[in-house]
Amino acid sequence: MENILLITCFLYVSADTHTLQYLYTAVTPGLTDFPEFTAVGLLDGEQFMFYSSNNRSLIIKDSIKKTNSETYWRRETEDMRGNQDIFTNTFTTAMKEFHHRTGVHTLQRMFGCERDDDDDVTTRGYDQYGYDGEDFISLNLTTGTWTAVKPQAVTIKHTWESKGSNKYWKNFLEGDCIDLLKKYTSYSRDTLNRKVRPEVSVFQKHSPSPEVVCHATGFFPKPLNITWQKDGEDVHEDVELRETLPNQDGSFQKRSILKVSSTKLQKYTYTCVVQHSSLEKELVREVPKGPNKLEL
């Protein structure tokens, strides 16, 4: 299996260059643990999509899934099943051309597009196939024709060109691929730059020992400070700061617990102070003095 993933791609990506890339792999079925066909999608080098012939379903990262409708992803799943059939047919043809009837063989395809943030004109695309780890056939986007790198790819080139697949993929790489890339990157930028204010509540608990909880939730991004004050002075003792936890919707929650007797609570004014990048100034919540108040 050394041949798998021998096609490596060296993309020197600067901060403002974005890339959308797809990798397809077909492996002789039945001889290895690999599924007969797998596809992955990478945005700026990070995987956001996975498909395999094992369950024929498309798995999309949530943040990307949100950019399109359910209908769109259903159609994409159908398209991917179609791509699987076409790709495994090409694999069968290639094996025949190489007179490979036994053993483990692979066909890989790497295609995608790139663009720079500050340049709407210059984009780059590529579509390359490798058989058993060696270049096999590739799309020349200048001429819009397939280049048979190996003589065994000539028949495939002619078949594809008679069906117009060269024009179809050129259009995809120069059009839809760039549109998707823009859509996905602008969305993830908005997602990463967003700021959401925490909701803060302070409440007392009496078991097993008296304590006050300051709970912040629903905030983004993750960094948030919770501190305690007693009559305006910082309190560091008997404080238990809990880990920041993720919420279902991508926001976070965090709590800090202060161990303090009801007598002290009556005597002094305790406050919980929350700092977060979404807040213009720190948020201050006073601990209720009433001994039996459980939640505010």
Which residues contact ligand NAG by CB under 6 A? 140, 142-143, 147, 223-225, 275-277
**Which residue, 138 or 152, is less far from ligand NAG as judged by CB?**
138
- Which residue lies nearer to ligand NAG by CB, 141 or 258? 141
| Closer CB to ligand NAG, 176 or 282, in the complex | 282
CB of 156 to ligand NAG, least distance (A): 17
Token pair, residue 23, equals 């990798």
- Give the nearest distance from C-beta 4 to ligand NAG in angstroms: 25
CB-neighbour burial class of residue 207 (10 A; exposed 0-12, middle 13-18, buried 19+)? exposed
Residues 6+ apart with CB under 8 A from 190: none
What is d(CA 1, CA 191) in angstroms, rounded to the nearest whole number?
Answer: 39
Q: How far is the CB of 245 from ligand NAG (least distance, A)?
A: 16
Residue 222 C-beta: closest distance to ligand NAG, Å: 9
The CB-of-202 to ligand NAG minimum distance in angstroms stands at 19
CB of 124 to ligand NAG, least distance (A): 11
Tokens of 33: 């643990």
Kindly tell me which of 40 and 279 has the beta carbon lying closer to ligand NAG.
279
Nearer to ligand NAG, 44 or 135 (CB): 135
Residue closer to ligand NAG by CB (options 32, 143) is 143
